[in-house]
Structure 1
Amino acid sequence: MKATGIVVEYNPFHNGHLYHAQQARQKAGADVVIAVMSGQFLQRGEPAFADKWTRTEMALASGIDIVFELPYVYATAQASDFAKGAIELLGAAGCESFCFGSEEGSIEPFLNTWELLDSQRDTYERSIHEAVQTGISYPKALNEAYHSLTGSRSGFADLAKPNNILGFHYIEAAQKSGSTIKPLTIQRIAAGYHDPIQPGSNIASATGIRRAFFEEGSLEGIENYLPAPSLSALKAFHEDYGAFGSWTQFYPLLRYSILKERPHNIKRFSEVAEGIEHLIFESAKKEPTFEGFINRVKSKRYTRTRIQRMLTHIYTGFTWDQLRSFEGPSYLRLLGMSETGRHYLNGQKKNIGLPLISRAADLADPMGEIDIHASSMYFLGLGADNLKREYTTPPIYFG
């Protein structure tokens, strides 16, 4: 059976994700679509809107065949490490290709960009370093260094666009690892990554969908943008927990996590650097709301996303030492599968490149322990009492 892979968060699974999955299967000529999905915390440094099992259920009900969890170490990392973890897992799962959505819509500009940056690596990295020293944010420094190499030439990917950036890092990760997995891309349609909901369309970004829910406080306002199984799963999740994941919901515990430390302890946590621990600590003392807190801390140099990743690590207790101890994923954690997915895994047992884990009790390594702890902290933030759910939830089977 031929498998293609996709890297996802499904926060939540919406009509655009359904289109991506269908197009990936078609473009790759695949029998099986394998999704590597972030767990309870996401790459932009946020708690997931709904937990990973709810999002797995949405995915399987809408045509995904296998869902593996992207470990916390990579799911909450900067783009290059996020991509590295995801591509290694797809390769270990036996995928012949991977397919990502992009603003570009064509794979050639990404391959051209990789060849250019690989051949000009020293110049590129020096330009980034010099730009950062001027006080601008790292993403802006990357963009300026990139434009200094491409100039006005055409044929390269526009790395000012969020999905193009991730797409480039997927290709970079595959090239650096020497993988033979083939990159594919499809055009992102209708809604950009950060766009608000647009009347008259049935496709909206996940960001726009979440924003609309939190503004209106009702799932009715977003139902046109979700497949029916996604809407049903979200309703069930809300009935169970009475809330969806957000920093507004988690802020009381986040604030406590910050204030129980001292700044010299806060700087132990991953991504906290350059003395910002003092501002984080003082802002937590002064600000009773998350928006007030984040607006006090973010700046041109420290984007909201970068700050949120720091906060995620402070909240979960994930340190620099832990981050530096890992070189790559150590397992494939199965969250769910369809009947087709089950047949694929049964036929691939001897070819799977990492231990296949279906029970939390088998995650007996440091990376797995971090996943289990992060999941407990997620449910604690929701005010739930099922902190042991990692041990009681088997992979979801969608027959």
Structure 2
Amino acid sequence: MKSVGVIVEYNPFHNGHKYHIDETRKKTNADCVVAIMSGNFLQRGEPALVSKWSRTKMALEAGIDIVIELPYAFATQKAETFANGAISLLNALHCDEVCFGSEHGTINEFIMTVDFMKKHQETFDKYLKEAIKEGNSYPKAASLAYLSLSNDEKYLDLSKPNNILGYHYVKAIIEQKSKLIATTIKRTSAEYHDEVFTHTSIASATSIRKALFSTKGNLDEIKNFLPETTLSLLTAYYDEYKQFHQWEDYFGLFKYRLLTSNPAELALIYEVEEGIENRLLSTIKVSTSFKDFIERIKTKRYTWTRLQRLCLHVLTHTTKNEMLNIKENKSASYIRLLGMSQKGQKYLNLIKKKVDLPIISKLSAHKDDLLHLDSKATQAYLSIFPEPLRSKLLHDEYSTPPIRYNEKNNFFIQ
């Protein structure tokens, strides 16, 4: 069986994602599509709209055959680390190809740019340090440093978010000496950061979430941009839990975390650097919401996304020491299986003897330092629910087997 990987968040799954899956199948002629999907917290340092289990069902109904969780330690980090973790999992699963969406749309320039940057790494690092010293955020400084190296049109525009991710996927493939073949599909109609609808059926996940929260859970305004299966699962989630997740739901717990910590304790948290712990502590005392807090501490140097990730690590109490082995190894140490179709199960049966990493179907059956971070993240994600629901959901997280999807009859077994 030929397999292709996609690296996703599905927050939530929308028509653009369905287009990506369909085009990926056409372009690669793959029999099995494997999704490496972020768990309950995402790369921009925010909670997923609905749980990873609900998003797994969205993916399976839309044509994904296997859903693997990208561990928290990779899913909530900058593009390079995010890409390393995802590519390492596709390698472990012996995927033949990886297909990602990008603003650029053709793969050759990604490969050329990775090669170009490798040859000019020392000069790039010099420009980068200069740009950071001028007070720019890391993403802005990196973009300026890259522009200082070359304005040649044959190289990528690395100011675009999906081009940046794609660049790091290709870079990770090369550095990990992977046999993965990279290919890309051009994004259509909506940009990643678009906050308003600009098309009749395709919209960014950002604009969909914004509309959803502004209408307090009313799905009417977004229904044209989502498959029926996503609409049904979102409705079911809201009916059962009476909410969609956003940072404001966690502000009380986050504020408690800060107010019961001292500067020395905060300095141990991952991404708390350069004395910002003192600013966090002074600002939280006068902040009335998460949005208010971020707006007060945001500077040219610290982007909204970086601050959200920092705050997330405070919320989950993720320390620098806990993240150390990520920086050293750059790869996942287990495969957390969230769901599979019948075709996906067939693929796993074919490759399981060749897979070197443990495939985890139940959290309670395995111990791992990175898995411990996933457990803490789940506890934080579920903390906003009342008892006894919270304890029930936490128990389910440890005992629930992967979701199995019968694509012929359209039903789930969990």
Q: TM bucket by the smaller chain?
A: over 0.9
* Mapped pair 1:158 → 2:161: no
Which is further off, 378-387 or 53-62? 378-387
Find the aligned partners of 2:107 and 2:39 in 1 and give their Cα distance: 28
Find the aligned partners of 1:374 and 1:293 in 2 and give their Cα distance: 22
Give the deviation of 1:200 after TM superposition: 4.8
Which residue pairs with 1:67 in the alignment?
Answer: 67
2:145 partner amino acid: A
Q: How many residues align?
A: 398
2:394 partner amino acid: L
2:355 partner amino acid: I
Find the aligned partners of 1:78 and 1:171 in 2 and give their Cα distance: 15
- What does the per-residue CA deviation read over 1:166-213, in whole Å, with 9 as the maximum and x for residues that have no partner? 010111111111111111000001100011242651110001000001
Secondary structure of the equivalent of 2:339? strand
Which is further off, 309-318 or 248-257? 248-257
Find the aligned partners of 1:196 and 1:142 in 2 and give their Cα distance: 24
Give the deviation of 1:388 after TM superposition: 2.3
1:109 partner amino acid: E
Which of 378, 398, 403 matches 1:375? 378
Find the aligned partners of 1:388 and 1:278 in 2 and give their Cα distance: 37
- 1:22-41, aligned counterparts within 5 Å? 22-41=22-41
* Mapped pair 1:359 → 2:359: no
Secondary structure of the equivalent of 2:220? helix
Find the aligned partners of 2:105 and 2:123 in 1 and give their Cα distance: 28
Secondary structure of the equivalent of 1:184? strand
Tell me if structure 1 keeps the 8 A contact 2:190–2:199. no
Distance 1:382 1:193, change over 3 A: farther
- What does the per-residue CA deviation read over 1:239-280, in whole Å, with 9 as the maximum and x for residues that have no partner? 221111111111111111111111221111111101111111
Which residue pairs with 2:215 in the alignment?
Answer: 216
* Mapped pair 1:207 → 2:210: no
Find the aligned partners of 2:282 and 2:272 in 1 and give their Cα distance: 15
* Mapped pair 1:345 → 2:348: yes
Which residue pairs with 1:395 in the alignment?
Answer: 402
Tell me if structure 2 keeps the 8 A contact 1:6–1:36. yes
Secondary structure of the equivalent of 1:337? strand
Give the deviation of 1:238 after TM superposition: 1.1
Tell me if structure 1 keeps the 8 A contact 2:316–2:376. yes
Q: Percent same amino acid among aligned pairs?
A: 45
- What does the per-residue CA deviation read over 1:349-371, in whole Å, with 9 as the maximum and x for residues that have no partner? 11223111110112311111111
Give the deviation of 1:373 after TM superposition: 1.7
Find the aligned partners of 1:395 and 1:192 in 2 and give their Cα distance: 33
Which residue pairs with 1:322 in the alignment?
Answer: 322
- What does the per-residue CA deviation read over 1:153-175, in whole Å, with 9 as the maximum and x for residues that have no partner? 11111000000010101111111
Find the aligned partners of 1:100 and 1:86 in 2 and give their Cα distance: 12
Tell me if structure 2 keeps the 8 A contact 1:39–1:69. yes
Secondary structure of the equivalent of 1:286? coil
Find the aligned partners of 1:392 and 1:361 in 2 and give their Cα distance: 7
Which residue pairs with 2:109 in the alignment?
Answer: 109
Which residue pairs with 2:409 in the alignment?
Answer: none
Tell me if structure 2 keeps the 8 A contact 1:250–1:381. yes
* Mapped pair 1:265 → 2:268: no
Tell me if structure 2 keeps the 8 A contact 1:249–1:382. no
Tell me if structure 2 keeps the 8 A contact 1:363–1:369. no
Tell me if structure 1 keeps the 8 A contact 2:196–2:207. yes
Secondary structure of the equivalent of 2:340? strand
Secondary structure of the equivalent of 1:220? coil
2:403 partner amino acid: I
Find the aligned partners of 2:396 and 2:374 in 1 and give their Cα distance: 12
Distance 1:199 1:114, change over 3 A: closer
- 1:308-319, aligned counterparts within 5 Å? 308-319=308-319
Which residue pairs with 2:195 in the alignment?
Answer: 196
Tell me if structure 1 keeps the 8 A contact 2:190–2:198. no
2:141 partner amino acid: A
2:240 partner amino acid: D
Tell me if structure 2 keeps the 8 A contact 1:380–1:387. no
Secondary structure of the equivalent of 1:135? coil
Give the deviation of 1:63 after TM superposition: 0.3
Tell me if structure 1 keeps the 8 A contact 2:201–2:224. yes
Give the deviation of 1:389 after TM superposition: 2.6
2:398 partner amino acid: Y
Which residue pairs with 1:91 in the alignment?
Answer: 91
TM-score (norm 1): 0.98
Give the deviation of 1:331 after TM superposition: 0.6
Find the aligned partners of 2:396 and 2:209 in 1 and give their Cα distance: 25
Find the aligned partners of 2:285 and 2:343 in 1 and give their Cα distance: 52
Give RMSD over aligned pairs. Answer: 1.1
Which residue pairs with 1:131 in the alignment?
Answer: 131
1:212 partner amino acid: A
TM-score (norm 2): 0.94
Which residue pairs with 2:143 in the alignment?
Answer: 143
- What does the per-residue CA deviation read over 1:65-100, in whole Å, with 9 as the maximum and x for residues that have no partner? 000000000000111000000000011111111000
Find the aligned partners of 1:137 and 1:239 in 2 and give their Cα distance: 41
Find the aligned partners of 1:133 and 1:321 in 2 and give their Cα distance: 27
Find the aligned partners of 1:43 and 1:197 in 2 and give their Cα distance: 21
Give the deviation of 1:382 after TM superposition: 4.4
